[in-house]
C-alpha cells in the first residue's frame, strides 16, 4: 500500500507540477510553521467568531439598559400593554443584524473564490469596523438599524469564509477540534458581552468594601457610555483578527484550484512542519489535485454557480443541501431564543432586573465552559452521534420547559431557570461548532465557497426568523413557544440519522470518494461513510473510483519512487 501511495503522488506531481522547482517552492514557504502557524490560524479565525458571539450577546443585555431605552424608546413596551408594537420593534432591532449577515454571506457566491480566503476575511473585518462605529454613534432607531445591517454584512462574509479557510488548512485529525474552538469562541464573545452588566449588577448589590469597583463602574451608570462602550469594544476584536491575517498563508486548496501549485506545496509543508518532499505532503497535494481534476471533468475550466445543482458522482446538489440544512437545524433548535433574550427570559421567570442580569451572565459563562467539551470529543464520538444526542436532549429540555411554564409557580421558575442552563450545555456540545465544521467538510473544493455562502445564508435566514418570532411569540402564547421548538428538535433526529454522512477521520477529498462510491453502488452515502474499506484520496484506487484516467509513472521516476519507499 505504501508503494501505491508513492506511485500516485509522484504521478500527480509529474502531471500537475512539471515546471515547479525546489527553489520556487522554498521562495513561497511561510516564515511561521508547524504548531505556531496552526495556533495563529486558530486565533485569527476564532477572533472572527468571537465578534459574532459578542455582537449577539451584547444586544441581549443592552436592550433593557435604561440609557439604551432613553435613546431608542421604540423598543420599550408600556407596562400596561406588554403585547404592544414595541416587542416587534425590539425584535427587529436584534434580528436585522441577521439580514446584514445574510447579504454578506450571499455576496460570497461571487467574491469568495475571486478574492481568496484571506482577503475576504480582511474585507469582512473592515466592514464590521465601519458598522461598529455607526452603531456606537447611533442616536436614532433608523440609524441603529442601518448600522446593524452593515455590521452584519461584514460578519456574514467572515462566517461564510473562516470555516472553509480553517478546514482547508487543517489535517483530518486536527480539523474537528480546531473548528470546534471557533464555536467555543462564539460563546466566549457572548460571555464577554455580559461582563459589563454582571459587574454593574454586582456593584449594585455590594456595599462599601468595594469602593474601587464602585468607583470604576459608577461613572457609566448615568451615561450613554453604559451601552456605547460595549458596542465599540468589538472594534478591538476586529483589529486583532485583521492584524494576524498578513502573517498567515492562503488556503493550499484555493491555491491549487487557481494554479498556484508551488505556493500550495510550500503551505502544506509549512502546516506539516516538514520538507515539501515528505510523503504526507505529497499525498495531501496529490489528493487535492485529484479532487480538482475529478470535479472539473466534463465541465468548463471555470466553475459556475450552476454546478451547485449538479448530481452525478460528485453529488454537488445533495452535498450543498446537507450544508444548508445543517445550518438551518442549528437555528430552529431555539438557541437564539436564549442567546438574544436571556435577560428577558429570566425576568419572565420572576427575577428582578439585577438578578436576571447576573443569572444571564452566569448562563453565558456556563455555556462557554460546556462548549469546551466538544473540542475533546468531536473526533472520538463523531459528527453524527453528537448531532443526534443534542437534538434529542434539546427536544426533551424544551418539553420540560413547556410543562413547567404551564404550572408557573416559584418552584417551577427555579427549575425552568436551571433548564435554560441545561439546554445551553447540550447545544454547546452538539450543535454549536458543528454547523461551522460540517458544511465546510461535506462539499467538494470546486463548490466549497458558493456552497458555504448558501449554507451560512441559511443560518442567518433562520436566525432572523427565530429572533423576529420569539419576542411576539412569548408576548402572545407565552410558555407554548417551547412546544414549537420541542417539535422542531424532534424533527431533526430522523433527518440526521438517515441523511447525514459521517465525516470524522476523513480528509476533505475523501468525501468526494464517499459520494462517488454511493452513486456508483446506488446506496446511501451515510452507509458508505461508515465503511472502513474505502481508498484514501490521492491513491491509485481513488483514481478509479472517481473515474479518472490512469496515468502511468514515467520510467525515469521509478527508481526515485523505490527510494522514497
pLDDT digits (tens, 9 = 90+) for 29-53: 888 888 899 889 988 888 888 887 7
Q: What is the pLDDT at residue 337?
A: 78
User: Which positions ≥6 away from 333 have C-beta within 8 Å?
Assistant: 390, 391, 394, 427, 431, 485, 488, 489, 492
**Cα(50)–Cα(48) distance, integer angstroms:** 5
Residue closest to 546 by CA, chosen among 285, 284, 295, 315: 295
In the block, cell 426533551 appears at 396
If you average pLDDT over residues 159-177, what whole number do you get?
A: 89
CA distance 151 to 433: 22
Residues 6+ away with beta carbon under 8 Å from 306: none
Q: Which three cell numbers stand for residue 217?
A: 463602574
Give the whole-number percent of the chain exceeding pLDDT 90: 33
Evaluate whether residue 287 is within a structural domain. no
Q: Which residues lie closer than 8 Å to 207 by C-beta, 6 or more apart? A: none
Q: Return the percent helix, strand and coil in the chain, to nearest 5.
A: 80, 0, 20
Count of structural domains, the chain: 1
Residue 96 inside a domain? The answer is yes
Structural domain boundaries enclosing 79? 26-198+210-249+298-505
Query: Can you give the pTM of this predicted structure?
Result: 0.81
Residue 393, pLDDT score: 96
Average pLDDT over residues 331-349: 75
Q: Which pLDDT band holds residue 306 (cuts at 50, 70, 90)?
A: confident
Asked if pLDDT for residue 61 goes beyond 80, the answer is no
Q: Which residues contact 500 (CB under 8 A, 6 or more apart)?
A: 322, 326, 383, 384, 387, 438, 526
Do residues 392 and 493 lie in contact, with contact meaning Cβ atoms separated by under 8 Å? yes
For residue 112, pLDDT beyond 90: no
Q: Is residue 488 part of a domain?
A: yes
Lowest-confidence region among 130-139, 302-311, 509-518:
302-311
Residue-wise pLDDT for 114-137, tens only, equals 889 999 999 999 999 999 999 999
The sign one gets for the Cα dihedral 528, 530, 532, 535 is: positive
> Does residue 370 have a pLDDT over 80?
yes
**Contact present, 494 and 484 (Cβ < 8 Å):** no
Q: Does any domain span residue 449? A: yes
- Average pLDDT (259-277) is 89
Residue 562 contacts by C-beta under 8 Å, 6 or more apart in sequence? none
Residue 12 in any domain: the answer is no
Residue 278: which region, alpha, beta or left (left: phi > 0; alpha: psi -120 to 50)? Answer: beta
Q: What is the CATH number of the domain that holds 353?
A: 1.20.1250.20
Nearest to 135 by CA among 109, 162, 153: 153
The dihedral through the CA atoms of 274, 275, 276, 278 has a sign that is negative
For residues 555 and 246, which has the higher predicted lDDT (pLDDT)?
246
Neighbours of 109 (CB within 10 A): 18
Q: Is residue 21 part of a domain?
A: no
Q: Cα–chain-centroid distance for residue 342?
A: 21
Position 282 scores a pLDDT of 83
Residue 17 inside a domain? The answer is: no
| Residue 162: partners with Cβ closer than 8 Å, 6 or more residues away | 45, 48, 49, 121, 182, 436
11-20, 27-36, 459-468 — which is least confidently predicted? 11-20
Looking at per-residue pLDDT, the higher value among 468 and 31 belongs to 31
**CA distance linking residue 296 with residue 471, whole number of Å:** 48
Mean pLDDT lowest for which of 107-111, 360-364, 379-383, 404-408? 360-364
Of the candidate ranges 66-80, 106-120, 362-376, 398-412, the one whose mean pLDDT is the lowest: 66-80
Q: What Å distances lie between residue 469 and 38, 326, 338, 347, CA to CA?
A: 40, 21, 13, 19
Instruction: Answer whether residue 232 shows pLDDT above 70.
Output: yes
Query: Looking at residues 71-80, what average pLDDT do you find?
Result: 73
Q: What CA–CA distance (Å, rounded) separates 177 from 183?
A: 10
Q: Is residue 144 part of a domain?
A: yes
The widest CA-to-CA distance across the chain, in whole angstroms, is 87
Cβ 62 vs Cβ 68: under 8 Å: yes
Average pLDDT over residues 409-415: 82
Q: If pLDDT is split at 50, 70 and 90, which confidence band does 553 have?
A: very low
Whole-Å CA distances, 29 to 10, 186, 329 = 21, 32, 40
Report angle CA 425, 429, 430 to the nearest 5 degrees.
120
pLDDT exceeds 70 at position 159: yes
Question: Rounded CA gap, 546 and 512, in Å?
Answer: 8
Amino acid at each position: 500500500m505504501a508503494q501505491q501511495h508513492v506511485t500516485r503522488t509522484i504521478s500527480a506531481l509529474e502531471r500537475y507540477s512539471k515546471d515547479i522547482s525546489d527553489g520556487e517552492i522554498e521562495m513561497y514557504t511561510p516564515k511561521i510553521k508547524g504548531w505556531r502557524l496552526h495556533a495563529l490560524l486558530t486565533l485569527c479565525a476564532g477572533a472572527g467568531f468571537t465578534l459574532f458571539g459578542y455582537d449577539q450577546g451584547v444586544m441581549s443585555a443592552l436592550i433593557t439598559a435604561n440609557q439604551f431605552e432613553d435613546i431608542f424608546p421604540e423598543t420599550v413596551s408600556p407596562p400596561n400593554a406588554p403585547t404592544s408594537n414595541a416587542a416587534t420593534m425590539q425584535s427587529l432591532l436584534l434580528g436585522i443584524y441577521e439580514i446584514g449577515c445574510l447579504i454578506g454571506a450571499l455576496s460570497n457566491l461571487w467574491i469568495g473564490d475571486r478574492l481568496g480566503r484571506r482577503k475576504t476575511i480582511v474585507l469582512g473585518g473592515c466592514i464590521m469596523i465601519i458598522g461598529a462605529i455607526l452603531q456606537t454613534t447611533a442616536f436614532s432607531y433608523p440609524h441603529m438599524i442601518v448600522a446593524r445591517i452593515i455590521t452584519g454584512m461584514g460578519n456574514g462574509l467572515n462566517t461564510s469564509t473562516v470555516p472553509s479557510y480553517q478546514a482547508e488548512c487543517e489535517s483530518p485529525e486536527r480539523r474537528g477540534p480546531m473548528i470546534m474552538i471557533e464555536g467555543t469562541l462564539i460563546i466566549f464573545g457572548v460571555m464577554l458581552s455580559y461582563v459589563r452588566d454582571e459587574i454593574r449588577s454586582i456593584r449594585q448589590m455590594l456595599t462599601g468594601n468595594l469602593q474601587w469597583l464602585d468607583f470604576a463602574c459608577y461613572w457609566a451608570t448615568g451615561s450613554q457610555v453604559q451601552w456605547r462602550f460595549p458596542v465599540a469594544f468589538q472594534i478591538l476584536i476586529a483589529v486583532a483578527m485583521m492584524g494576524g491575517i498578513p502573517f498567515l498563508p492562503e488556503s493550499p486548496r484555493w491555491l491549487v484550484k487557481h494554479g498556484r501549485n508551488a505556493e500550495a506545496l510550500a503551505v502544506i509543508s509549512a502546516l506539516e512542519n516538514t520538507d515539501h518532499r515528505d510523503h504526507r505532503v505529497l499525498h495531501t497535494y496529490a489528493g487535492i489535485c485529484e479532487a480538482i481534476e475529478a470535479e472539473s471533468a466534463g465541465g468548463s475550466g471555470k466553475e459556475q454557480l450552476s454546478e451547485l445543482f449538479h448530481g452525478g458522482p460528485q453529488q454537488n446538489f445533495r452535498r450543498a443541501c446537507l450544508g444548508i440544512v445543517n445550518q438551518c437545524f442549528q437555528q430552529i433548535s431555539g438557541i437564539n431564543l436564549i442567546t438574544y433574550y436571556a435577560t428577558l427570559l429570566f425576568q419572565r421567570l420572576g427575577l428582578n432586573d439585577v438578578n436576571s442580569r447576573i443569572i444571564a451572565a452566569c448562563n453565558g459563562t456556563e455555556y462557554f465552559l460546556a462548549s469546551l467539551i466538544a473540542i475533546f470529543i468531536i473526533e472520538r464520538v463523531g459528527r453524527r452521534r453528537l448531532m443526534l444526542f443534542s437534538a434529542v436532549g434539546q427536544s426533551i429540555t424544551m418539553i420540560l420547559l413547556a410543562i413547567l411554564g404551564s404550572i408557573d409557580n416559584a418552584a417551577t421558575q427555579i427549575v425552568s431557570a436551571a433548564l435554560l442552563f441545561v439546554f445551553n450545555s447540550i447545544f454547546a456540545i452538539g450543535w454549536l461548532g458543528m454547523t461551522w465544521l460540517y458544511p465546510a467538510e461535506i462539499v467538494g473544493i470546486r463548490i466549497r465557497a458558493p456552497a458555504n455562502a448558501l449554507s451560512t445564508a441559511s443560518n442567518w435566514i433562520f436566525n432572523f426568523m427565530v429572533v423576529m418570532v420569539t419576542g411576539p411569540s412569548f408576548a402572545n402564547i407565552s410558555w407554548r413557544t417551547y412546544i414549537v421548538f420541542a417539535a422542531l428538535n424532534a424533527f431533526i433526529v430522523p433527518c440526521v440519522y438517515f441523511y447525514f454522512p459521517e465525516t470524522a477521520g476523513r480528509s476533505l477529498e475523501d468525501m468526494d470518494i464517499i459520494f462517488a462510491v454511493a452513486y456508483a453502488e446506488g446506496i446511501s452515502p451515510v452507509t458508505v461513510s461508515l465503511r472502513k474499506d474505502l481508498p484514501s484520496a490521492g491513491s491509485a484506487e481513488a483514481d478509479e473510483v472517481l473515474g479518472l484516467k490512469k496515468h502511468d509513472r514515467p520510467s525515469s521516476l521509478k527508481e526515485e519512487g523505490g527510494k522514497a519507499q
